[in-house]
Amino acid sequence: MMNFRKNPKRMSFYNGNWMYEPGITPVFAESVADTAVDGDTLTLFTSQNPNANRRDLGGPMLTIKLTSPAPNIIGVELTHFKGGKSAYPNFELGSAPTAVEIADDADSVSYKSGELELKLKKHAGYMGWNMEFVGGGKKLTASGARSAAYFYDDGAEMGFTSQQLDIGVGECIYGLGERFGPFVKNGQDIDMWQADGGTGSEQAYKNVPFYMSNRGYGVFVDSPADIRFEVGTTKVERVMFSAESETLRYFVIYGATPADILERYTLLTGRPALPPAWSFGLWLSTSFTTDYDEATASSFIDGMAEREIPLSVFHFDCFWMKGNHWTDFEWDADMFPDPEGMLRRYHERGLKICVWINPYIAQQSRLFDEAAAKGYLIMKEDGGVWQTDLWQSGMGVVDFTNPAACEWYAGHLTRLMRMGVDCFKTDFGERIPVKGVKYFDGSDPVRMHNYYTELYNKVVFTAIERERGVDEAVVFARSGTAGTQKYPLHWGGDNAGNYPSMAETLRAGLSLAVSGYGFWSHDIGGFEATAPADLYKRWCAFGLLSSHSRLHGSSSYRVPWSFDEQASEVLRRFVRLKNSMMPYIYEHAIEAHETGVPVLRPMVFEFPDDPACAYLDRQYMLGKNLLVAPVFSEDGTVDFYVPQGSWTSVLDGKRYEGGRWYRERFDYFSLPLLLRENAILPIGGCDDRPDYNYAEGLTLKVNVADGGRASCEIPNITGVRDALVTVERSGKVYTVSTTKPLEGLKLEIEGKLYDCNGLVTEATL
């Protein structure tokens, strides 16, 4: 009834292995009838009849077009009827120069890009179709018999184009955006459809039609429409993805490592901007539906300062504006009579300011009439404004396909920034209508439903870049799709204050990480309800060991002293720990910006050859070298796995030999935070803010094996790498070399500090 979902679609085409659901008629690619080569494009004209001869004219055909936008990426476009009207929007895709090799003879075809090759026998006989993808000399997956298909549906105006790709024995599938269920997607049916369903359902705020296999490849389905993925369900041995469309295009991406795959995927869809260093500090929110004014906000800021808890960003949620006026971009004068003065005072205390917005204009908003009159809102097909009472009374939705609407919306943001606002929380963006509506640019409403968030976040992010500069742009976004990772950062949506929700939050973050999102946050302590003090303290450690960290909730304040005073001590410890680790964290932030490799990584991402890591979803790697295992139990017990090597605890120096599981109990001030063998953790000389001179007063926590070598790069807050530090060990002798002098450099080895004598280029201890 709410117009945010398209008409119910057919759940499956099959009835078991051999039969089809009533009303379904399949067309399969089973034999290559003809080919055409045009530059780097190879087109296959396929027949459903593998024994076709020159007299078998007419009948259904699938056309398969092969392209390569970059080395090690092959695009496959399946088309039934190609004469239909082109549908848009489409994802904006990047490319890189590539040379392909095409072989086309009487019996077979081959299409090769870099180390990735597609091979196919033209006439393999009944059930013999096998379009195989080979990467680095090994089979990755294949489009086997009756897997490239078009399904006629008697009950629909249009049929479905579908592709199935093989899943091997022991193969695991990951990704598909922010998913709160099991991290390994095998056995799940997943729809790409934006929804505001919280973290405890199968719905997701961030749907990304990309999955990664632990067999060395990824698959990106190039459509913002309602794609359905059936991962080892309808066809247990395959991943099937389908769209209600005459055409379906996907890319197979080869990579020797998960990092290689993500680097190539984000070459296509975009890499995240580098967030400013200050954004990595602690964010404190007024919370969602709580009552507050300037005095309340100031009491939070004062309370944090009194308890020596460093605070970087103060966020004003919904009620900085009057209720039912959202969004009108006007401060509630009753609560904030002097907003400019207030923001100036907060800036003088070293704080950045964020305010909450959304893309909806309530009927009571002072902006509604103007937006409606000028065509800035999504319209109905009859020419009126589309409206709903869900969320805000009579609200309309800004039409970001209208350039004038984009400038109008951005103009209000610019006015707020000139008042003293630094960034925006771009909430919502999922409840976008699909029935009976039309867009300014003629976009297909079904395709726009998911894609809307890309335009929304782009408008806001670009407005900040123009006003504050490229180096200062950051948003706090909830919704996203393929490509929206370009506009960091994103948080995990509406979780709850309990341990299962904390765990599902991490699973979502891990899935999002392998979907191209380099930066991620979540509501510490849970959004819905108020967590017990125990959970809040455990979540503080997890939250501060994420790329970004925010205290936020629904109907109660999330300041630590509202739980208990020990919560303040716990929060202080982990905020200061994170600030001191900024040389390490920002080094990996730069890597995410340059390559698409995320800051927070699943264990399988760093250890793809360790079978024990394939299913791990209660621990993760923060950057390349730090293992983090949050505490998900009231008594502090943690079961965690340590991969091969000799690891050391960052917090107490305890050593862990890898290749085994551990069960240990931790107090509120600790958790498993382990430094990898042959790795360096650079600790900065400042712990009361995240943006400082990382090269000054450095201490290098070193875990180097005898005969080993480790290095790390030290960045500055502008995103430039200032120095490369290398430590080599021979017995008890550690040799340190740097590419530039580092004032006050120290080494920490097994809990002992060694002074490197001020300005050094080499020191032996």
Catalytic amino acids? 427, 430, 494
Neighbours of 570 (CB within 10 A): 24
- Going by C-alpha positions, the residue among 696, 667, 665 that lies closest to residue 683 is 696
- SS3 call for 413: helix
In contact, 154 and 145? CB cutoff 8 Å? no
> How far apart, in whole angstroms, are the C-alpha atoms of residue 258 and residue 263?
9
> How far apart, in whole angstroms, are the C-alpha atoms of residue 654 and residue 640?
15
> Who's near 548: CB < 8 A, 6+ residues apart?
275, 279, 280, 283, 489, 491, 519, 520, 521
Q: Is the torsion defined by CA of 298, 466, 406, 461 positive or negative? A: negative
For the chain, the maximum distance between any two Cα atoms, rounded to a whole number of angstroms, is 88
Which amino acid, 745? Answer: L
DSSP track, 307-337: TT----EEEE-GGGS-TT--S-----TTT-S
- Going by C-alpha positions, the residue among 132, 141, 148 that lies closest to residue 168 is 141
> How far apart, in whole angstroms, are the C-alpha atoms of residue 464 and residue 446?
29
In contact, 168 and 237? CB cutoff 8 Å? no
Q: Is the peptide bond before 413 cis (omega within 30 degrees of 0)?
A: no
Measured CA angle at 92 (ends 89, 97), to 5 deg: 145
* Strand 746-749 with 699-703, pairing: parallel
In contact, 700 and 725? CB cutoff 8 Å? yes
> Who's near 620: CB < 8 A, 6+ residues apart?
506, 509, 510, 600, 601, 602, 603, 627, 628
- SS3 call for 494: coil
Helix 499-513 and helix 533-544, axial crossing angle in degrees, nearest 10: 10
In contact, 396 and 371? CB cutoff 8 Å? yes
> How far apart, in whole angstroms, are the C-alpha atoms of residue 553 and residue 530?
8
Alpha helices in 349-431 (DSSP H): 368-373, 403-419
> How far apart, in whole angstroms, are the C-alpha atoms of residue 318 and residue 427?
10
Q: Which pair of structure tokens corresponds to residue 466?
A: 């123009």
Alpha helices in 332-473 (DSSP H): 339-348, 368-373, 403-419, 445-468
- SS3 call for 261: helix
> Who's near 574: CB < 8 A, 6+ residues apart?
540, 541, 543, 544, 545
Rg (CA), the chain: 27
> How far apart, in whole angstroms, are the C-alpha atoms of residue 151 and residue 426?
39
> How far apart, in whole angstroms, are the C-alpha atoms of residue 243 and residue 160?
5
In contact, 186 and 167? CB cutoff 8 Å? yes
